[in-house]
Amino acid sequence: MNLPMAPTLPLTGPQAGHSLDAQEIRELSEQVRALAADRNAVILAHNYQVPEVQDVADYVGDSLGLSRKAAETDSETIVFCGVHFMAETASILCPEKTVLIPDLDAGCSLAASIDAEQLAEWRARYPRGVVVMYVNTTAEVKALTDYCCTSANAVEVVRHIYATHGADTEILFGPDMWLGAYVEKELGRRMHVWDGECHVHAGIRPSDIEATRAAHPGADFLIHPECGCSTSVMEYVAAGDVSSEGVHMLSTGGMLGYAENAEREAKGSQAVVATEIGMLYPLRMAAPDVEFIPANAEASCQYMKMITLPKLRDALLEGKFEVRVPEEIAVRARVPIDRMVALG
Ligand code: 13P
Ligand code: SF4
């Protein structure tokens, strides 16, 4: 394969301590697109990626949408602009393809909150339990899981299990306790819930919602169910303190759906966004007439921000860093992922 040679640009960007200027973004983006075409690569980016990475990607979306795109692509190479478990999921779904991540250190505190040994011990305590794990987990954990889910389909996946395995089924849900509490509340049933959390979403507290409610009384609320404020917002709704009509518990993809709708129907409205702040960029692009206000402007995921245009360019240029899940794990981990994709 003949790869175009990149002119030697200095390694600039957030990792070098300053942002890229418009000219650097233009040049790097052109190199990335040329290299992707030459390598027959598709670039998938999560909604939390920096704007210039979202702009150069072939597809931007939430965890579920990205898994779907990975599963259906014809490209030989998938470059995952997201975190490590997402690249692993793509490798499990497409074992014949080359999956690259531009920075191997792009991890996830939520995925790190349970390992395979801990899950095996937990399972052993509830031998009849059905294990549902958020997709934010390692491949080894998925290999011990019955069903994966994302925030977009967690309620549907658990509802499906009660419908097919029986209403008394014991469910072991993990690793996110806030998402687990949300699913319990939606379905009115208790599960065994692991006490893990994402440090970014857990840091969005009820006090952030109080403050933004006071400052923007008419605004809608878009709340990611991983947030530390999600339980209290559900309580406000149940108590009638907040109108249920204005509160939307959504995955990042669901938030984008809200924005597209709001742009069509309610120009000039306001929405408070409780999730990682990278989400503000696609929301504002989708609905320029809606004012999106972060619930907590400090809620930034340092792992997602490790992916930069220079690293993406180098990943395509040098074919690094490959993420490949060993076959014996991939075969078992694929089952719960396939169920998740099918049920979404
Ligand atoms: P979704 O994009 O599936 O809502 O997930 C959010 C997240 O935290 C991914 O790391
Ligand atoms: Fe993981 Fe939280 Fe970052 Fe998402 S925002 S990748 S859940 S640490």
188-213 pLDDT per residue, tens: 999 999 999 999 999 999 899 889 98
pLDDT > 70? residue 14: no
Pick the CATH number of 200-294 from 3.30.870.10, 3.50.50.100, 2.60.120.1030, 3.40.50.10800: 3.40.50.10800
Matching residue, tokens 């490949």 = 324
Omega before residue 175 within 30° of 0, cis = yes
pLDDT at 79: 98
pLDDT at 130: 98
Is-contact 339 119, C-beta < 8 A? no
CATH number of 111-197: 3.40.50.10800
197 lines ligand 1 (CB under 6 A): no
- For residue 229, give the H/E element and its range: none
How far is 270 from 137, CA to CA, in rounded Å?
34
Task: Enter the pTM of the model.
Answer: 0.91
Over residues 60-84, the mean pLDDT reads 94
Highest mean pLDDT among 117-126, 202-211, 254-263: 117-126
pLDDT digits (tens, 9 = 90+) for 33-48: 999 999 999 999 999 9
151 lines ligand 1 (CB under 6 A): yes
Q: Which atom of ligand 2 is nearest to the CA of 176?
A: 7
pLDDT > 90? residue 244: no
pLDDT > 50? residue 17: no
Hey, whose CA ends up nearest to atom 2 of ligand 1? 62
252 lines ligand 1 (CB under 6 A): yes
How far is 54 from 25, CA to CA, in rounded Å?
12
Using DSSP bridges, classify how beta strands 247-249 and 220-223 pair: parallel, antiparallel or unpaired: parallel
CA 264 to chain centre: 26
Highest mean pLDDT among 223-232, 267-276, 327-336: 327-336
Task: Count CB atoms within 10 A of the CB of residue 125.
Answer: 9
Query: Which CATH architecture fits 22-107+302-318?
Result: 3-Layer(aba) Sandwich (3.40)
- Sheet containing 192-193, strands listed edge to edge, beginning at the edge strand earlier in sequence: 147-149, 130-134, 171-174, 192-193
Indicate the top mutation candidate among 47, 86, 136 to test ligand 2's pocket, ranked by most ligand atoms within 8 A of CB.
136
pLDDT at 1: 32
Indicate the top mutation candidate among 151, 153, 273 to test ligand 1's pocket, ranked by most ligand atoms within 8 A of CB.
151
- Sheet containing 220-223, strands listed edge to edge, beginning at the edge strand earlier in sequence: 247-249, 220-223, 270-274, 291-294
**Minimum-distance ligand to the CA of 204?**
2
**Which band of pLDDT confidence, cut at 50, 70 and 90, is reported for residue 257?**
very high
**Which band of pLDDT confidence, cut at 50, 70 and 90, is reported for residue 330?**
very high
pLDDT at 64: 84
How far is 276 from 271, CA to CA, in rounded Å?
15
All CATH 3.40.50.10800 domain ranges in the chain, comma separated: 22-107+302-318, 111-197, 200-294
> For 59-74, b where at least 16 C-beta lie within 10 A, e where not — what string?
ebbbbbbbbbbbeebe
**Which band of pLDDT confidence, cut at 50, 70 and 90, is reported for residue 3?**
very low
CA of 62 to the centre of ligand 1 (A): 6
Burial class (CB within 10 angstroms; exposed 0-12, middle 13-18, buried 19+) of 37: exposed
176 lines ligand 2 (CB under 6 A): no
How far is 24 from 3, CA to CA, in rounded Å?
21
**Minimum-distance ligand to the CA of 196?**
2
Cα–Cα nearest to 108, from 141, 86, 133: 86
Q: What percent of the chain has pLDDT over 90?
A: 81
Over residues 263-281, the mean pLDDT reads 89
Cα–Cα nearest to 136, from 174, 177, 93, 90: 174
pLDDT > 60? residue 262: yes
Hey, whose CA ends up nearest to atom 4 of ligand 1? 251
Is-contact 136 198, C-beta < 8 A? yes
Over residues 143-156, the mean pLDDT reads 95
CA of 82 to the centre of ligand 2 (A): 10
**Which band of pLDDT confidence, cut at 50, 70 and 90, is reported for residue 266?**
low
**Eight-class DSSP state of 51:** H
Cα–Cα distance list, 186 to 28, 220, 247 (Å)? 45, 20, 14
DSSP per-residue string spanning 90-130: HHHH-TTSEEE-S-TT---TTGGG--HHHHHHHHHHSTTPE
